[in-house]
């Protein structure tokens, strides 16, 4: 019998026109497929060319039939968990149709587990390509990601009732996993570290009251940046080594290599840096770290001038080495990890050039690399 791994790919839920508020970024009504469709980029002076197209076409990922197809393709290649980027702005969810109307209404959804990463970051016009260059530099926000206690309780109520209740919601030791993206916004919105701790305790209590043994609060770790922990009216920072235990977080992983690695490099060097970071975290933190693999990084499709932070040589063969390293990490940390979980960026981050979905450049190469490492070459275990 082969060992099973939980290969969890992030979902960027912007490939639909069913969220009307996205029209300020993508007015054609097909979500960020508009940017992918219209992007053929050449900078000869930088030896740079970008022309990526999806082999499956510009699918509406809020369509359950589309998601039935994608679930089949993902699971047969070893991707068995989707982590949905989940947003809350203006007192309500944002970009939720891909999860609510697509994935959760797919007839074969039981084949794929899922969980939520609350992407509680601020939003500016960076998704609007005509405005992105100027707005990126001036950081002109549309929505803030911080929420107060009243809003947080609404989020807790919705998440428990709508998502935790689903039989295929991903759990560790029976506890639903909820990932937190931006620690500073979380703490500031709740008035400081004490308010954030109290809010998480409330979330845990409500989860137990809903019939679960507890809540697994997972952090999307950005390495050793400082976090504001004082609330709106002050400014006091703490290092992550103090914030994580103060909040009582249960585990961590990463969202993207670019959050802690200089990405203007070839993939083998980037992977070497990632492995050093995995080892450092393992030695310096006392909560489980689930290894993360990014397929690459290049967000030039979102801009009108050259963005030099481009990962190169991230072929399926090189990314396969990262998958194999992640498998080894899980295998050698079975005494500390509570699940055989590996996170991947991503299923469909096309405009950041970090995706598993098949394209016109590598075909099914990245998915075949997942299958080779985690299905075909998975170690045998005794029955």
Does the pLDDT at position 236 exceed 80?
Answer: no
Query: What percent of the chain clears pLDDT 70, i.e. is strictly above it?
Result: 96
Element (H, E) at 343: strand 341-345
Whether residue 138 is predicted with pLDDT greater than 80 in this model: the reply is no
d(CA 314, CA 316): 7
d(CA 59, CA 31): 10
The string of pLDDT tens digits covering residues 13-59 is 999 999 999 999 999 999 999 999 999 999 999 999 999 999 999 99
The pLDDT value recorded for residue 354 is: 98
Mean pLDDT is lowest, of 74-78, 83-87, 217-221, 226-230, for: 226-230
Which two tokens mark 364? 């099914």
Residue whose C-alpha is closest to residue 7's, from 104, 77, 84 = 77
> Phi/psi of residue 89, each to 5°?
-135, 150
Average pLDDT estimate for 176-204? 96
Distance CA 19, CA 53 (A): 23
The pLDDT value given to residue 137? 66
CA distance 58 to 1: 38
pLDDT value at position 141? 87
Q: Give Dmax over CA atoms of the chain in angstroms.
A: 60
* pLDDT for residue 75 is more than 80: yes
* Coil, helix or strand at residue 256: coil
Among 66, 54, 55, residue whose Cα is nearest residue 17: 66
Residue with tokens 């990526």: 52
Residue 136's pLDDT is 64
- Spatial distance between the Cα atoms of 76 and 315, rounded to a whole number of angstroms: 21
pLDDT of residue 339: 98
The total number of residues shown for the chain amounts to 383
Burial of 234 (0-12, 13-18, 19+ CB in 10 A): exposed
- How many whole angstroms separate alpha carbon 129 and alpha carbon 23? 12
pLDDT in tens, 158-169: 999 999 999 999
pLDDT at 126: 86
Assess whether pLDDT exceeds 70 at residue 195: yes
pLDDT band at 227 (very low <50, low <70, confident <90, very high): low
pLDDT at 238: 82
| Cα gap 360→364, rounded to integer Å | 9
Angle subtended at Cα 68 by Cα 98 and Cα 352, rounded to the nearest 5 degrees: 50
Helix (H), strand (E), coil (C) string for 22-68: HHHCCCCCCCCHHHHHHCCEEEHHHCEEECCCECCCCCCCCCHHHHH
- Provide φ and ψ at 382, rounded to 5°: -75, 135
The residues near 57 (Cβ < 8 Å, ≥ 6 apart) are none
Residue 295 contacts residue 314 (beta carbons within 8 Å) = yes
Work out the angle at residue 81's Cα, subtended by the Cα atoms of residues 117 and 219, and round it to the nearest 5 degrees.
30
10 sits in which H/E element: strand 6-11
pLDDT in tens, 93-137: 999 999 999 999 999 999 999 999 999 999 988 898 888 887 666
- pLDDT-wise least confident of 127-131, 291-295, 311-315, 341-345: 127-131
- Decide if pLDDT at 232 tops 60: no
334 pLDDT exceeds 60? yes
- Percentage of residues in the chain with pLDDT exceeding 90? 89
Helix (H, G, I), strand (E, B) or coil at 222: coil
Tell me what the mean pLDDT of segment 169-177 comes to. Answer: 98
Average pLDDT score, the chain: 95
């Amino acid at each position: 019998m082969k060992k099973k791994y939980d290969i969890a790919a992030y979902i960027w839920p912007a490939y639909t026109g069913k969220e009307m508020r996205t029209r300020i970024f993508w007015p054609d009504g097909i979500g960020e497929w508009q940017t992918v469709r219209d992007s053929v980029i050449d900078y000869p002076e930088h030896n740079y060319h970008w022309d990526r197209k999806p082999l499956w076409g510009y699918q509406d990922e809020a369509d359950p039939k589309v998601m039935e197809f994608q679930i089949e393709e993902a699971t047969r290649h070893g991707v068995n968990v989707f982590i949905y980027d989940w947003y809350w702005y203006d007192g309500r969810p944002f970009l939720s149709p891909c999860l609510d109307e697509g994935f959760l209404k797919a007839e074969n959804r039981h084949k794929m587990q899922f969980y939520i990463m609350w992407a509680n970051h601020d939003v500016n016009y960076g998704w609007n390509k005509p405005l992105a260059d100027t707005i990126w530099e001036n950081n002109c926000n549309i929505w803030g990601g911080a929420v107060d206690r009243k809003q947080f309780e609404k989020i807790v109520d919705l998440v428990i009732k709508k998502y935790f209740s689903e039989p295929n919601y991903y759990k560790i030791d029976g506890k639903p996993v909820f990932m937190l993206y931006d620690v500073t916004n979380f703490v500031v919105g709740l008035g400081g570290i004490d308010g954030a701790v109290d809010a998480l305790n409330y979330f845990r209590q409500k989860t137990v009251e809903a019939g679960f043994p507890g809540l697994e609060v997972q952090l999307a770790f950005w390495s050793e940046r400082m976090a504001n922990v004082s609330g709106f009216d002050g400014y006091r920072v703490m290092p992550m080594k103090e914030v994580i235990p103060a909040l009582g977080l249960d585990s961590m992983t990463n969202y993207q290599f670019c959050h802690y690695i200089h990405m203007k490099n070839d993939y083998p060097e980037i992977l070497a840096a990632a492995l050093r970071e995995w080892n450092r975290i393992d030695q310096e933190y006392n909560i489980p770290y689930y290894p993360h693999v990014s397929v690459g990084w290049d967000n030039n499709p979102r801009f009108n001038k050259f963005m030099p932070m481009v990962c190169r040589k991230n072929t399926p063969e090189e990314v396969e080495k990262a998958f194999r390293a992640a498998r080894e990490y899980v295998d050698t940390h079975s005494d500390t990890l509570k699940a055989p979980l590996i996170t991947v960026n991503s299923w469909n981050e096309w405009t950041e050039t970090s995706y598993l979905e098949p394209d016109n450049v590598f075909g099914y190469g990245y998915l075949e690399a997942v299958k080779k490492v985690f299905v075909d070459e998975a170690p045998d275990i005794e029955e």
